[in-house]
Amino acid sequence: MEGVLLAVAASLAVFALTIAYYISFRRSSCRANLPPGSFGWPIIGESIEFLFGKPEKFVGDRMRKYSPEIFKTKIFGEKTAVLCGPKGNKFIFTNEQKYFTSFRPHSMQHLFRSYKTKAAAQAQAEAEAQAQRQSSDESKMIRQPGFLKPEALMRYLRKMDSISRQQLAIHWSGKEIVQVYPMAKTLTLTLASHFFLGVNNPERIARLVKYFDDITVGMHSIMLNIPGTVFYRANKAAAFIRKELVDVIQEKKQAMADHGSPPMRDILSHLIAMAMTTTTTGPAAAAADYETADKIMGLLTAGYSTVATTITFLMKYVGLHPEIYEKVRAEQMEVALAASKKGEGEVLLEWEDMNRMKYSWNVVCETMRMVPPLQGMMREVSTEFSFGGHTVPKGWKVYWTVSTTNKNPDYFKDPERFNPSRYDEDGEAPPPYTNVPFGGGPRMCPGKEYARLAILAFLHNAVRRYKWQVLDPHEKVDGDMMPAPQNGLPIRLINY
């Protein structure tokens, strides 16, 4: 009897503590003045509406319903505050180091995490400590001064120009009807592989396009790892690419051992050299190879999908507006004429040539406003902060998105009109923090300059050789987080 009473008393105590905790939590939440909004369904939150509805509709509906400055939601399993408009963008970009740390959705974390052999997995504890020491150095190497800074890209520009010419000749020469998107993907993956890996083998790279497509879609998906799902296909693709990259790493390491360390012209060589200073052979070396493969896979994916998307829709909008095409071609012919005066033989683009492409870059910026290659990014809140009269607790996530500004008539006059002249010095001059396809602040996309050069080098060669007609101006666009024309954007080429 006494035991029963003790059990009942214990149960009542647990129940009372639970109720007290719940009431305390509710009161603290009220005192915190959390942003308005809804967390949606248990577990999945509002992820389905976010992923499968139009991003601008998802965001716009909640801005109108809750607040034009900030609202809460739950996406990718995370309590998230969406900061809206140029004020929200500015707050995030200018307070990166004060309130936020980097964060990737769990689906992305999972895809870019090594799947090691059993022997290598046993060395994980040792490798993790080493990886922590290296990670800040690697990030610094990639960002500043790094390979993606102008001073490094200057040495690579001529190769970008040459590869663009080669790819156009391979895929479009002698053809009347072509699809832009498949060629753009092959081109950008070839560029990224040459730049990041030091690999110049188009056949080896081209066969990976489908796998990178699967990863790109799977990065923003519900983590349901069963056959037939987007995430399952992305997992399979990541495993295939990871294995291919480990082969490349081992080949490069063997070449270094046989012939001495070559000039460090690509990021992979630097990552290998850094790893080799602390690992030798066995499981630790195998683990280091997989860690390096994951880092490179992330860089390749970033340097592939967004650039290919922008090139594709750039071709669409330029093809649909003959007057814009003529202005772009006139500018690029002037660039080519100035370049031809530098010397005899094959003349390739130089850094000063890119600085002459001001109108062409305006066209690219307008393309990214109309069809953002990336909808936004998440950050983790490291220190509680207030914005718009509401408090966002530590541990939550924040999300900045182009959808709150890029087609807002308050910031862009006649926003559905494709108008590159709005970026002219005497144009409309969109307010700061309204067109932010690369983000901003300390965590602005480090590949912005790389993307600019890759896109302009392609455009330079395309308009000098072809005019084109978009065969289906109303072709459906699949995907919202990563947009893609349903039929690959078929065009009719007219050779000069």
pLDDT digits (tens, 9 = 90+) for 254-277: 887 777 665 557 888 888 877 766
Measured CA to CA, the distance from residue 150 to residue 156 in angstroms comes to 10
Name beta bridge partners: 494: 467
**Region 110-123 average pLDDT:** 57
Confidence of residue 39 (pLDDT cuts 50, 70, 90): very high
User: Residue 145, preceding bond cis, omega within 30 degrees?
Assistant: yes
Which pLDDT does position 13 carry in this prediction? Answer: 43
Which pLDDT does position 130 carry in this prediction? Answer: 42
Which pLDDT does position 243 carry in this prediction? Answer: 93
Architecture of domain 35-113+375-422 in this structure? 2-Layer Sandwich (3.30)
Q: Which residue has the tokens 């080429």?
A: 493
CA nearest to 480, candidates 370, 375, 367: 375
How many angstroms separate the first and last alpha carbons of the chain? 98
Which pLDDT does position 375 carry in this prediction? Answer: 87
Name beta bridge partners: 83: 70
CB 215 within 8 A of CB 237: yes
Measured CA to CA, the distance from residue 113 to residue 126 in angstroms comes to 16
* Average pLDDT along the chain: 84
Q: Which residue has the tokens 């056949």?
A: 203
Domain boundaries, the chain: 35-113+375-422
Q: Is pLDDT of 11 > 60? A: no
In the chain, the amino acid numbered 242 is R
**Region 287-293 average pLDDT:** 87
Which pLDDT does position 303 carry in this prediction? Answer: 82
**Region 198-226 average pLDDT:** 88
CB count in 10 Å sphere of residue 391:
16
Q: Which residue has the tokens 């809206």?
A: 84
Phi then psi for residue 253, to 5 deg, are -65, -40
Measured CA to CA, the distance from residue 30 to residue 43 in angstroms comes to 22
Measured CA to CA, the distance from residue 52 to residue 58 in angstroms comes to 9
Which pLDDT does position 146 carry in this prediction? Answer: 64
**What does DSSP assign to residue 422?**
G
| Full-model pTM | 0.86
**Region 54-65 average pLDDT:** 91
Confidence of residue 139 (pLDDT cuts 50, 70, 90): very low
Which pLDDT does position 12 carry in this prediction? Answer: 43
Measured CA to CA, the distance from residue 126 to residue 79 in angstroms comes to 33
Query: What is the token pair recorded at 37?
Result: 């909004």
Measured CA to CA, the distance from residue 493 to residue 471 in angstroms comes to 10
Query: pLDDT digit string (tens) for 294-343?
Result: 989 988 888 888 999 999 999 999 999 999 999 999 999 999 998 877 76
Which pLDDT does position 143 carry in this prediction? Answer: 47
Higher local confidence (pLDDT), 133 or 243: 243
**Region 358-375 average pLDDT:** 94
Q: Is pLDDT of 54 > 90? A: no
Q: Is pLDDT of 226 > 80? A: yes
Higher local confidence (pLDDT), 384 or 123: 384
